[in-house]
Amino acid sequence: MTKKKWMTGISTLLLMVVIVIGVIWISGSSSGKATTTEDFEEETSKRDVKKEGKIQVGISNESLEESEDEESKNKEEKSRNKKAEEEKKESAVENKKPSKEVKDEEKEKETAETKTPESKKEDKPTAPTTKVIDPVTKYVDVSSLNVRSGPGTNYKVITSVTDGQSVTITEISSTWGKVKVNGKTGWLSRNYLSDKKPVVAKKEGKQEEPKQTPVEETPTPKNDADKLTTVSGNNQLILVTTDSYGSTSATIQTFEKDGSGKWNRVMNTSGFLGKNGFGKQKEGDGKTPIGKYSIGTAFGQNGNPGTKLPWRDITSDDVWVDDSDSALYNTWQSKSKTQGQWKSAENMTHRLYTYGFVINYNTQRTPGKGSAIFFHTGSSYTLGCVATSQSNVISILKWLDPAKNPVIIMTPSQNLSNY
């Protein structure tokens, strides 16, 4: 039996006693009033006893209730404390996670916060302002430099350039430059470019020398004549060359072969071509023919200077027919004797024809192919001939010898191997 049940039993018993005493007292009162002092005192005494019993029962019940309340409060407080303790433990268990899980969560958060634009599509970033500039050449000054599809590290790499490689910038944006390399157009950082070509250091360390296969040595050409393969039957050569097809300025060299078959240069001077450079195609195009040609008649207005070539003095009656429809096209004729056989002809008394010789071009006289191609005096471009100073022309005329089968080759320098 618990303490609470025991106390409840006592309280019930006392209550029953009080009820019994009350019943007896009520019964005595109904039989009549006390007539004597003793009866009064006895009755008074009884009442006092009853009253005292009631007070004691009240006190007992009150004490019992207080005891019960205190015990209930203690139990409730213990229950609350226990519950709080359990909640605290559960909270601690709930909040306590393995270090790896915490790290993973932190790492995931950090990745989400610091995610770079490279993980996004290229069309997301705002295109920076660019500026077109005059092309400028720079040199890569780093071992390897990425070329990207746009001016920023958020664009993908499309190719790369290496140390010392030259690039031409045509457009800029901040520190980026637009270039075209390896057949691709892209952007690279100008922070790694230099105005001067850097010296690329050779890799250190012993490298295995490749096995060398013996090869036949080809004699190094000592001059431009040594580069030719079609002049074995010629002992004199005039070489007229330029750096490009459109150039009007030419280099004139003369060579002569010695007894051992070696070409020796005799003259190296400057000269002039047609006003439109090399590559004659038709009459009046202002271009000098390209090719290898024999040398014809020498001519002049002041007498033979001492050449061994066939010579012809120019008179006021001499003309060179340039009428493509004439049967006399591309020939030297007497004006008075051939009048009416052509519609146009060039007077040979031209001031530039003081001295010169005929270059045997279009000897088959193909209509419209070109006529009157000479080597003559002059100080600027021509209409299709080759010109140089009068002193040079006279020196060449004196040097030329038909017995040595002289030829003239006219070509851009890059085509020398064709002759």
- Per the listing, tokens 């790896």 go with 100
Q: Cα separation of 111 and 240, whole Å? A: 72
Give me the catalytic one of 181, 235, 376, 396: 376
Q: Cα separation of 395 and 253, whole Å? A: 12
Helix (H, G, I), strand (E, B) or coil at 322: coil
Q: Cα separation of 257 and 182, whole Å? A: 47
CA-nearest of 18, 5, 1 to 68 is 5
CA-nearest of 263, 308, 294 to 403 is 308
Q: Cα separation of 287 and 283, whole Å? A: 9
Tokens (6 digits) for 145: 């430099």
- Write the DSSP string, 58-105: HHHHHHHHHHHHHHHHHHHHHHHHHHHHHHHHHHHHHH---HHHHHHH
Helix (H, G, I), strand (E, B) or coil at 300: strand
Tokens (6 digits) for 200: 């690329």
CA-nearest of 372, 361, 365, 284 to 320 is 372
Cβ–Cβ < 8 Å for 154, 122: yes
Sequence-separated (6 or more) residues with CB below 8 Å from residue 173: 128, 129, 130, 131, 151, 187
Q: Is 350 a catalytic residue?
A: no
CA-nearest of 393, 293, 296, 309 to 353 is 393
Tokens (6 digits) for 295: 């040398």
Rounded to the nearest angstrom, the gap between the alpha carbon of residue 312 and the centroid of all alpha carbons in its chain is 66
Give me the catalytic one of 238, 298, 372, 385: 385
Q: Is 385 a catalytic residue?
A: yes
Task: Please give the positions annotated as active site.
Answer: 376, 385
